[in-house]
Amino acid sequence: MQKQHAVVVHHLVYNFYIKKHMKIGIIYAMEEEIRAYYYNVKKFKKIQNETYGINIYISNSNKIILIKSGIGKVSSSIACTILIHTYKVHIIINIGSSGALKPYINISNFIIGKNISYHDVNLTSFQYKIGQIPGFPQKFNTNIFLRKQIKKILYKYKITFWEGLIISGDIFIHKSQDINKITKNFPDAIASDMESAAISQICFQYNKPVLIIKIISDDTNKKAPLIFKKSIQNISIQSYKIIEDYINIIKKLYKIGNINKNL
């Protein structure tokens, strides 16, 4: 009975703390991907982390932390760990560019990652599934409640989006042999990137709710590098209003205590 009482008290104290001190961490790989957000909001101070060579932007309220991780799995893992350990965030959002893996998905469409997997991990010789790291699932699930809230905003602005499997690895996908290999191993995958699986694994380890939002910048063919360079500048503009609205919704839900039970 005492143990049950202690659990209830702990839960109540934790919920009260979250409502008062909730922090959101946003990870983006490139400056171009979210530049419009902190330029337009203009309520952020910039911190240069010389140890890891990354840029951190902290809101005046200290409740929103943007971090430019750099490209790839290792860089994004470091950024995610900094957000969790140093800044004690409660929610992780990863936003950025990705390549389309389905012909019906167009440039500028939004992608919501329902589950995330590595495409460049192969330990099948040891009876693991393709993309699976020992001790972890093959696919990391993102938070259902956070996905539900972002979909409301995308519907509101009548933005075309797709929800499904994102595959991730340290390869910019544009060669036919890479595409063929990925589509064979992950026929349901709708988009590819270079950070989301590593971020999802860190969040899985630390039991942090995560949301993965991507905007299609190319269609993973031989022209992808050129298309990417042209479209990356628009990613920040497209994501700015969406992220601003989303953060406002999450903060409002926290304030009225209507989110803790859903995460």
Catalytic residues: 33, 218
Q: Give me 10's structure tokens.
A: 């702990």
Residue 179's Cβ-side half-sphere holds a number of Cα atoms within 13 Å equal to 16
Are the beta carbons of 132 and 125 closer than 8 angstroms?
no
Buried/exposed code over 189-223 (b: 16+ C-beta within 10 A; e: otherwise) = bbbbbbbbbbbbbbbeeeebbbbbbbbbbbbbeee
Classify the C-alpha dihedral 35-37-41-46 as positive or negative.
negative
User: Which helix (H) or strand (E) segment is 168 a member of?
Assistant: strand 161-168
Residue 46 amino acid letter: K
CA 108 – CA 9 distance, rounded (Å): 47
With H, G, I as helix, E, B as strand and everything else as coil, classify residue 194: coil
CA 188 to chain centre: 19
